[in-house]
A and B are shown apart, each in its own frame.
Chain A
């Protein structure tokens, strides 16, 4: 079975690992390759702050709720292992702040210790009048991608740096299954009017005294457009930019100022922080993520495709549940090719 995963961000690499783990021992041969034109530290995953947190409102696809939960549980089980730090994984607690009362999020029972903020806690943030406190996870993109790359390399998965121009080009190379994890650039392989970039810019600072995440919300202007401060393993990510349709990869001075002023107002101690870097990335925004099978006809032959892209700003948050589902779809392909029989209770 020849499989090519296109894309080496968190979706591509985790899907590759999941499929390998589940099927390599039951298939006669599994030749798994990863094609990508960008690898860590140049992917969008690398720019993400890495806080596990789905959007506030329930997803339009109810399956996404389960995928979020599966991802949290999977990551939590690794938190207590000595590998946690290498994976870029850490527990983190913090604040979600609002200008008005809001309903509890659908994920309140997934995270740990979810509760509303007390009046004295709100005194710490004078611009906000309502909020939550809970314990979640950080999964730092760069470390996690390095870790996934190591695991895949150990298992003999090969990586190729190449810019794929079309799915046909890959199919013609004699591939049985293509897994399309091209994220925000999926439209170049197959037009998708529902997919657009949600441009984000972030500033990384050294501020090791900050131990909590602080995410503010402006319900009118939309998700990720209000200041957020998210500590990582070594640096703290400051953000608050989400520009739909903007493909500019250059850091903007205006956005820098918006982020800096907003975050310093939220956390005055930041004025002591040294800037360690500034980055731009593109959230692959879509009304719901695309995770489904497709068939590609090239001449008389047909190649199986599994699309797994469009995870918006919650890719790290939902990645493992999606990888498991992609592996399920892969299993169905194998069944149809009579290479494998699914066990009666669906995995």
Chain B
């Protein structure tokens, strides 16, 4: 059997995890990651990495829940192993609070996280402008540590790395048999998908080691996510904004909103501003496409458009992407079926 040559475009959390899944699940394949940016310069590196899913409009809830559950279980077993620190994964408890009672009082992912329950009145007392809340334990996946760890795992599986900006998927033919497009926001240009747009997010990374819980406003606009090396304060959701430079006014606003929820943050020090452009799309695109041009063929698996929810579903999606790659690989290996592509 010939080795199937797989190229994964994009080295964020989606690209790396997809590459690792492919290396583990697809028999007789070689995996090469090709990207112009690697950690710590990817969009994923800016994300706080908290596991709280964002509902996608057009994907069945059962599928979203499965992706989240698979990601949660996968990271959960890492968190209780000795690898946890190297992978940057740890348990985190906290509260999601609402200024008015939400229509959906129990979200679809409530039984995936740990110990989910409504907040008590005594717990809500410290948030005087909020009337309802959830308390639960979830996982935090510190991307700046997780991504290098994924890279190491990929190397262990014989994965190769290429730093290069891909302008057109056809550049990768005939060197590769299957291309997995995990280029996130880059898909707008790479495959001409105008449904992809940036959702600009600005955050602050501060030193406040006494903060042990996450606090998230139900709208998702204001949040406090403590990690192993800093606390992430956020944020913004600016659709269509491509500006990667931090805005000082926005930083002040974020800090002020977060201090309103957690006054002790006023003593936080060492503030770093960061900006990331989320790969916005009405839904995640996770599907095969058989490209043909001038008698050449290229199997593509698209895997992008995760918006704000990439980390929360990355592993479940990566498993699905690997299954699709496997289907492509089997089709390539069956000569009778090649003409069907």
A93 contacts B93, CB within 8 Å?
Answer: yes
B135 contacts A113, CB within 8 Å?
Answer: yes
Chain A, Cβ-Cβ closest to B112: A120
Q: Check A212 for interface membership: any CB of B closer than 8 A.
A: yes
Q: Is the interface of B mostly helix, strand, loop or mixed?
A: mixed
Q: How large is the interface on B (under 10, 10 to 19, 20 to 34, 35 or more residues)?
A: 35 or more
The residue in B85, B208, B267 that gathers the most chain A C-beta atoms within 10 A of its C-beta is: B85
A209 contacts B212, CB within 8 Å?
Answer: no
- Which residues on A sit within 8 Å (CB–CB) of B122? 112-113
B264 contacts A84, CB within 8 Å?
Answer: yes
User: Given A82-B267, A117-B115, does the pair A211, B212 have CB atoms closer than 8 Å?
Assistant: yes
B123 contacts A113, CB within 8 Å?
Answer: yes
B110-149 contact mask (Cβ, 8 Å, vs A): 1 or 0: 0000110101101100100000000101000000000000
Choose the segment among A36-44, A148-156, A268-276, A331-339 that binds chain B (4+ C-beta atoms closer than 8 Å): A268-276
Give the Cβ gap from A118 to chain B, nearest Cβ, in Å.
6
A231 CA to B137 CA, complexed, in Å = 17
A90 CA to B210 CA, complexed, in Å = 6
- Which residues on A sit within 8 Å (CB–CB) of B92? 211
- B-contacting residues, A98-148, CB 8 Å: 112-113, 115, 117-118, 120-121, 124, 133, 135, 138
Chain A, Cβ-Cβ closest to B210: A90
Give the Cβ gap from B13 to chain A, nearest Cβ, in Å.
19
- Which residues on B sit within 8 Å (CB–CB) of A81? 263-264
Give the Cβ gap from A53 to chain B, nearest Cβ, in Å.
15
Q: Is the interface of A mostly helix, strand, loop or mixed?
A: mixed
- A-contacting residues, B192-229, CB 8 Å: 208-213, 226-229
B267 contacts A85, CB within 8 Å?
Answer: yes
User: Given A269-B82, A269-B85, does the pair A208, B229 have CB atoms closer than 8 Å?
Assistant: yes
Q: Check A92 for interface membership: any CB of B closer than 8 A.
A: yes
A81 CA to B126 CA, complexed, in Å = 11
- Which residues on A sit within 8 Å (CB–CB) of B114? 118, 120-121
- Which residues on B sit within 8 Å (CB–CB) of A170? none
Q: Check B91 for interface membership: any CB of A closer than 8 A.
A: yes
Q: Check A65 for interface membership: any CB of B closer than 8 A.
A: no
- Which residues on A sit within 8 Å (CB–CB) of B228? 208-209
- Of A85, A115, A135, A209, the residue contacting B264 (CB under 8 A) is A85
- Of B84, B93, B264, the residue contacting A211 (CB under 8 A) is B93
Chain B, Cβ-Cβ closest to A121: B114
B126 contacts A80, CB within 8 Å?
Answer: yes
- Of B82, B120, B227, the residue contacting A112 (CB under 8 A) is B120
A67-108 contact mask (Cβ, 8 Å, vs B): 1 or 0: 000000000000111101110001111000000000000000
Give the Cβ gap from A251 to chain B, nearest Cβ, in Å.
25
- Which residues on B sit within 8 Å (CB–CB) of A117? 115
Q: Check B80 for interface membership: any CB of A closer than 8 A.
A: yes
Q: Check B333 for interface membership: any CB of A closer than 8 A.
A: no
Q: Check A218 for interface membership: any CB of B closer than 8 A.
A: no
A118 CA to B111 CA, complexed, in Å = 11
- B-contacting residues, A164-204, CB 8 Å: none
Q: Check B266 for interface membership: any CB of A closer than 8 A.
A: yes
Q: Check B175 for interface membership: any CB of A closer than 8 A.
A: no
A82 CA to B265 CA, complexed, in Å = 8
A209 CA to B267 CA, complexed, in Å = 20
Q: Check B90 for interface membership: any CB of A closer than 8 A.
A: yes
With contacts A211-B90, A272-B86 known, what are 4 further pairs, Cβ within 8 A?
A90-B211, A112-B120, A121-B115, A233-B210
A selection of 21 A-B contacts at a CB cut-off of 8 Å is A80-B263, A81-B263, A84-B210, A84-B263, A85-B208, A90-B211, A90-B264, A93-B213, A113-B119, A113-B135, A115-B115, A117-B115, A124-B76, A133-B115, A135-B123, A208-B228, A209-B85, A211-B92, A211-B226, A212-B212, A271-B82
